């Protein structure tokens, strides 16, 4: 009788602790700081506003999302390191920087990999990149919430007109420090210079660099056309962004919240992409009205030079696999 009573008390205590634990878990709140170098005018930022709205609404405010544009929290590389260590940060980043952690991801940023937004969307929704993202989480502790945030095509911004790759020779062009970016600019004829995005305007103004390369929303948001004038639409890189968090922070969330973050990141990415495609012509018109000279060129010489990037980084076989998937082989 005593044993049964003792056992009953034991079970009751366990149930009590379980109930208390559930209540505590339900009441616990989580903070996620989203770091990005872009300005509030950028369509990517507007996508994160949608992300914040969706996550906070669906978690009843239990996951609080704070947005930090303009690189105020630090460089992407620094923030990714913090995410790995367990900080509650989400980094708006790209395949070039993630390619340092998992080389295969870097090919998503290679020059002239696809011919359209639709082709890249098809590729990004396939199982191939999912394998790389799983590897990033398992081996490096970083979780890609979604990879469908289109930031735009990268074009050259220079102080003199560019008509062919040879015109880039001798020019110091700012670009991120990731290998795929550096090799792309080098292959196209210029000398790559790695600088934080927030330092590009003064570097152009002071003549430290001769130009940069960027997508229209970033160029407009940072007013780089004021210190370069010429925008050559080479579209050498199609830039897609991704919200990335650390697995240590992410894994402590209830499964329901994890699912919500994945879903809201995907929805917000689709929204940001649609918004960008709707505003590109308007952005060009605004920059042209303020003195920017925007021109098209024959892309074939640029594409021919870009072939060297795949060989340099060892992406030939992976590129062939992608082309086969897209029906180009």
Residue-level pLDDT at 9: 45
- As a three-state string, the secondary structure of 181-233 is HHHHHHHCCCEEEECCHHHHHHHHHHCCCCEEEECHHHHHHCCHHHCCCEEEE
Domain-located, residue 212: yes
Note the pLDDT tens digit of each residue in 74-110: 999 999 999 999 999 999 999 999 999 999 999 999 9
Note whether residue 22 is domain-resident: no
Q: Rounded to two decimals, what is the model's pTM?
A: 0.87
Select from 22, 100, 28, 36 the least CA-distant residue to 69: 36
Residue 13 lies in a domain: no
* Chain centroid to CA 170: 29
Is 16 contained in some domain? no
In a domain, 5, yes or no: no
140: in domain: yes
* Average pLDDT over all residues of the chain: 92
Local structure of 326: helix, strand or coil: coil
Is residue 23 in a domain? no
Alpha helix ranges (H) inside the chain = 2-27, 43-58, 76-85, 95-98, 117-124, 127-135, 179-187, 200-206, 216-221, 247-251, 255-289, 300-312, 316-325
CATH of the domain at 67: 3.40.190.170
230 located within any domain: yes
The predicted structure's pLDDT at residue 88? 98
Q: Which domain holds residue 106?
A: 28-325
- Number of domains making up the chain: 1
pLDDT tens per residue across span 24-65: 445 799 999 999 999 999 999 999 999 999 999 999 999 999
| Tens of pLDDT, residue by residue, the chain (329 residues) | 555 554 454 545 455 444 444 444 457 999 999 999 999 999 999 999 999 999 999 999 999 999 999 999 999 999 999 999 999 999 999 999 999 999 999 999 999 999 999 999 999 989 999 999 999 999 999 999 999 999 999 999 999 999 999 999 999 999 999 999 999 999 999 999 999 999 999 999 999 999 999 999 999 999 999 999 999 999 999 999 999 999 999 999 999 999 999 999 999 999 999 999 999 999 999 999 999 999 999 999 999 999 999 999 999 999 999 999 999 87
């Amino acid at each position: 009788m005593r044993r049964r009573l003792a056992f009953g008390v034991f079970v009751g205590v366990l149930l009590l602790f379980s109930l208390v634990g559930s209540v505590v878990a339900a009441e616990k709140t989580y903070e996620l700081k989203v770091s990005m170098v872009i300005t509030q005018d950028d369509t990517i930022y507007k996508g994160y506003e949608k992300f914040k709205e969706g996550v906070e609404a669906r978690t009843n405010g239990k996951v609080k999302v704070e947005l930090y544009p303009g690189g105020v929290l630090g460089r992407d590389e620094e923030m990714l390191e913090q995410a790995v260590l367990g900080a509650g940060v989400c980094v708006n980043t790209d395949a070039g920087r993630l390619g340092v952690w998992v080389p295969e991801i870097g090919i998503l940023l290679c020059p002239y990999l696809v011919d359209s937004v639709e082709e890249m969307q098809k590729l990004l929704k396939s199982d191939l990149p999912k394998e790389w993202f799983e590897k990033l989480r398992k081996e490096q502790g970083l979780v890609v919430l979604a990879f469908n945030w289109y930031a735009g095509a990268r074009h050259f911004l220079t102080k003199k007109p560019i008509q062919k790759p040879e015109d880039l020779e001798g020019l110091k062009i700012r670009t991120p420090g990731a290998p795929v970016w550096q090799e792309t600019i080098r292959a196209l004829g210029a000398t790559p210079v790695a600088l934080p995005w927030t330092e590009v305007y003064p570097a152009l103004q002071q003549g430290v660099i001769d130009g940069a390369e960027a997508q229209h929303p970033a160029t407009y948001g940072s007013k780089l056309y004021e210190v370069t004038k010429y925008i050559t639409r080479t579209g050498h890189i199609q830039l897609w962004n991704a919200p990335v968090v650390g697995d240590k922070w992410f894994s402590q969330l209830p499964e329901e919240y994890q699912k919500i973050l994945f879903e809201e990141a995907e929805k917000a990415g689709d929204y940001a992409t649609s918004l960008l495609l709707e505003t590109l012509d308007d952005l060009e018109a605004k920059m042209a009205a303020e003195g920017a000279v925007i021109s098209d060129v024959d892309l074939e010489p640029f594409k021919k030079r870009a072939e060297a990037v795949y060989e340099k980084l060892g992406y030939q076989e992976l590129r062939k696999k992608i082309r086969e998937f897209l029906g180009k082989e």
